[in-house]
């Protein structure tokens, strides 16, 4: 473990020194929970995002959208975030440092984040844990602290409360009408969004794992719960993956088997698990360090019917990097309820249904004047009554008021209707990706420590798909025309679409190779004296150190 911690420190030091990941606002003493993607890390991040986008767009029924990060209060109240997106906090009266109560109690309980507010309070009072910032802790009562960054939209008295979004998902839900129209009212379809999410952590730790501002990538895939999808699992048929079920039991089986046996409860969840595995492999995550962990029923949100975490193993142990959840109709229904607007899809019956109606409706001429603005609600309630109800009946409105509906307000309805289809709230399967956590593990898995000439030697064996610099152009010396030729080649690379080249003329060629290896450049091209004569250059490959001489006018990637 000590070894691992030292490796982690060396990796972090290298990432910082090489301009890959740096603590943000470092000039100003830093701000916990914020990172910069530096001159090398910036493109790593944008390439990773792009691979993710292309991966999902290639399914053919998925579109990319982009919604604001500033979000009005009402939207996040409907989604449940105002009420439930919180951690339990306590503040040390001696040093004013806020801490998560469960974090303080980690040494005193096997699973403190499952404790309720009162359980946390009792345990805190009992053990009086150490304060991370001062020697004499004095803990305030445990309170629920909402984790959204709050702000005000507009100024003065016309300002209204808002938050920075805690996830990108809500944008896809509130865009449902536009999506449904775009896809010509045919399920299934999905929408993806890549962007910032915000979580005002009480006390961030673990570097890139727990950030206050993070890069998210989410897919919301809308399905008809009555249709059994027919996904093709064949590309994973020879691959047994590690699945840990809700009881903590580990299984090694193929995705198809897991879906057929019922361990994975919906085929679309299983299909997205496979697609997620493919994505992670394509950006360089080591597949042997990936596992899928099913939520236990008491761990899962009450509305979810199945949820799998995709965990990746690295310097911090097993870390949840992706969550794949079957969310039922929860989200669309919540926004329907809050706004009164329909977020439904239509399903046509294979043959029309004939339905005998024998019940009640309101008599508009009497009920309208009697109930005024409530008449619509009363109508809905009355139409849900059986034929044998006896009036007057006391009904309860959505705001809790009671009204008496008398016989004069209603009339009997008896008719036969032919229905060709029906409206329903689509269900949603959501794969949600923490891009920073994945990016961290891409770096962690790519980081290789060896020795060269008795000295420690470090490299990043990044996948070509995400390597931030595609090629480094190195003149052996910056004289005798080597620099000019190297710059000519550099400009040629730069003008090739999608190719990023680094010109580096400073220091010994060995040091420049080492630096290129540390930032994961797959190919170095060296321009030497001979190059000036015959325009041949040396191609050096990062991963095996092999060197090949070839004409600079016939480079395969140009």
Site string for a copy of itself, 266-305 (x = CB under 8 A): ----------------------------------------
| 254 lies in the site for a copy of itself, by CB under 8 A | no
The binder of a copy of itself chosen from 8, 67, 253, 555 (CB under 8 A): 67
Q: Which of residues 527-556 bind a copy of itself (CB under 8 A)?
A: none
**Beta carbon nearer to a copy of itself, 37 or 513:** 37
CB of 301 to a copy of itself, least distance (A): 22
Place of tokens 């047994």: 240
Say whether residue 171 binds a copy of itself (CB under 8 A): yes
Spatial distance between the Cα atoms of 236 and 260, rounded to a whole number of angstroms: 14
Residues 348-407 that bind a copy of itself (CB under 8 A): none
Name the helix (H) or strand (E) containing 550. Answer: strand 547-551
The β-bridge partners of 404 are 394
Q: Mapping DSSP to helix (H, G, I), strand (E, B) and coil, where does residue 549 land? A: strand
The answer to the question of residue 63 lying near a copy of itself (CB under 8 A) is yes
Q: Which stretch binds a copy of itself (CB under 8 A): 69-77, 300-308, 452-460, 525-533?
A: 69-77
Site membership for a copy of itself, residue 75 (CB under 8 A): yes
* Binder of a copy of itself out of 126, 205, 341, 401 (CB under 8 A): 341
Q: Which listed residue (3, 107, 110, 184) binds a copy of itself by CB under 8 A?
A: 184
> Which residue's CB is nearer to a copy of itself, number 90 or number 256?
90
Q: Which of 7, 8, 12, 38 binds a copy of itself (CB under 8 A)?
A: 38
- Could you tell me whether strands 447-452 and 455-460 are parallel, antiparallel, or unpaired per DSSP bridges? antiparallel
Among 43-51, 124-132, 380-388, 550-558, which window interacts with a copy of itself (CB under 8 A)?
43-51
**Rounded to an integer, what distance in angstroms lies between the CA atom of residue 214 and that of residue 196?**
6
Do residues 429 and 370 touch, judged by C-beta distance below 8 A? no
Whole-number Cα distances in Å, 458 to 437, 473, 518: 22, 20, 6
The stretch among 119-127, 178-186, 248-256, 446-454 that binds a copy of itself (CB under 8 A) is 178-186
Report the DSSP pairing between strands 427-434 and 317-328: antiparallel
| Nearest CA-CA partner of 90 in 135, 138, 126 | 138
**Under rule CB under 8 A, which residues in 190-219 are in contact with a copy of itself?**
191, 193, 196, 198, 200, 202, 212-213
Within 478-507, the residues that bind a copy of itself by CB under 8 A are: 490-491, 494-495, 497-498, 500-501, 503-507
Chain positions 105 to 164 lying near a copy of itself, rule: CB under 8 A, are 145, 149-160, 162, 164
CA distance 190 to 272: 12
- Rg over alpha carbons for the chain, rounded to the nearest Å, is 30
Q: Count interface residues toward a copy of itself (CB under 8 A).
A: 101
346 interacts with a copy of itself by CB under 8 A: no
Phi, psi (deg, nearest 5) at residue 517:
-65, -35
**Sheet containing strand 250-253, strands side by side:** 62-64, 189-198, 213-223, 427-434, 317-328, 306-314, 290-294, 241-244, 250-253
How far apart are the C-alpha atoms of 485 and 480, rounded to whole Å?
A: 10
Q: At what angle do helices 435-446 and 2-17 cross, to 10 degrees?
A: 100
| Residue 431 C-beta-side C-alpha neighbours within 13 Å | 27
The answer to whether 509 contacts a copy of itself (rule: CB under 8 A) is no
**Site residues (CB under 8 A) for a copy of itself, limited to 403-442:** none
Nearer to a copy of itself, 241 or 432 (CB): 432
- Helix (H) or strand (E) segment spanning residue 403: strand 402-405
Task: Please tell me whether residue 235 binds a copy of itself under the rule CB under 8 A.
Answer: no
144 strand-pairing partners: 88
Q: Is 72 in the site for a copy of itself (CB under 8 A)?
A: yes
Q: Which stretch binds a copy of itself (CB under 8 A): 27-35, 303-311, 405-413, 415-423?
A: 27-35
* Shortest Å, Cβ 286 to a copy of itself: 24
Task: Please name every residue paired with 71 in a beta bridge, in sequence order, or none if there are none.
Answer: 163
């Amino acid at each position: 473990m000590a070894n691992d911690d030292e490796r982690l420190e060396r990796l972090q030091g290298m990432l910082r020194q090489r301009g890959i990941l740096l603590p943000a606002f470092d000039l100003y003493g830093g701000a916990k929970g914020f990172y910069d993607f530096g001159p090398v890390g910036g493109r790593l991040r944008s390439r990773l995002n792009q691979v993710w986008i292309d991966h999902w767009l290639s399914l053919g029924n998925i579109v990319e959208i982009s919604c604001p990060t500033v979000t009005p209060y009402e939207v996040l109240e409907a989604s449940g975030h105002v009420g439930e997106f919180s951690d339990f906090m306590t503040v040390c009266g001696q040093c004013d440092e806020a801490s998560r109560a469960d974090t303080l109690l980690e040494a005193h309980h096997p699973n403190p984040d499952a404790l309720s507010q009162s359980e946390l309070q009792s345990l805190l009072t009992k053990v009086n844990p150490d304060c991370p910032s001062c020697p004499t802790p004095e803990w305030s009562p445990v309170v629920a602290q909402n984790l959204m960054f709050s702000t005000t939209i507009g100024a003065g008295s016309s300002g209204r409360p808002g938050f920075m979004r805690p996830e990108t998902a809500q944008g896809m839900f509130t865009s449902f009408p536009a999506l449904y129209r775009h896809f010509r009212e045919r399920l299934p379809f999905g929408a993806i969004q890549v962007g910032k999410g915000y979580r005002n952590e009480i006390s961030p730790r673990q570097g890139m794992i727990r950030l206050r501002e993070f890069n998210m990538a989410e897919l919301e895939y809308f399905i008809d719960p009555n249709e059994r999808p027919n996904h093709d699992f064949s590309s994973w048929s020879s691959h047994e993956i590690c699945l840990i079920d809700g009881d903590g039991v580990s299984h090694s089986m193929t995705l198809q088997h897991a879906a057929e046996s019922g361990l994975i409860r919906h085929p679309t969840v299983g299909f997205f698990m496979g697609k997620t595995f493919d994505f992670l492999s394509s950006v360089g995550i080591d597949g042997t360090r990936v596992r899928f962990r099913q939520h236990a029923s008491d761990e899962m949100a009450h509305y979810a019917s199945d949820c799998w975490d995709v965990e990746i193993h690295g310097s911090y142990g097993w870390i949840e990097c992706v969550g794949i959840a079957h969310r039922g109709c929860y989200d669309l229904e919540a926004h329907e309820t809050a706004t009164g607007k329909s977020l439904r899809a239509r399903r046509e019956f294979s043959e029309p249904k004939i339905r005998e109606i024998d019940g009640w409706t309101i008599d508009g001429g009497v009920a309208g004047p009697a109930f005024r603005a409530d008449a619509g609600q009363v109508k809905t309630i009355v139409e849900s009554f059986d034929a044998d109800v006896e009036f007057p009946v006391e009904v309860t409105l959505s705001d809790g008021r009671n009204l008496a509906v008398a016989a004069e307000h209603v009339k009997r309805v008896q008719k036969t209707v032919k229905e060709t289809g029906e409206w329903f709230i689509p269900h949603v399967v959501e794969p949600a990706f923490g891009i920073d956590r994945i990016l961290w593990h891409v770096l962690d898995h790519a980081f290789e420590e060896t020795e060269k000439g008795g000295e420690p030697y470090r490299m990043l064996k990044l996948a070509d798909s995400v390597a931030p610099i595609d090629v480094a152009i190195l003149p052996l010396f910056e004289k005798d025309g080597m620099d000019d030729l190297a710059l000519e080649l550099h400009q040629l690379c730069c003008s090739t679409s999608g190719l990023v080249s680094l010109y580096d003329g400073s220091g010994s060629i060995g040091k420049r190779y080492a630096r290129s290896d540390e930032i994961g450049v797959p190919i170095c091209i060296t321009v030497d004296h001979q190059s000036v004569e015959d325009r041949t250059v040396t191609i050096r490959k990062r991963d095996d150190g092999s060197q090949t001489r070839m004409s600079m006018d016939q480079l395969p990637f140009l």
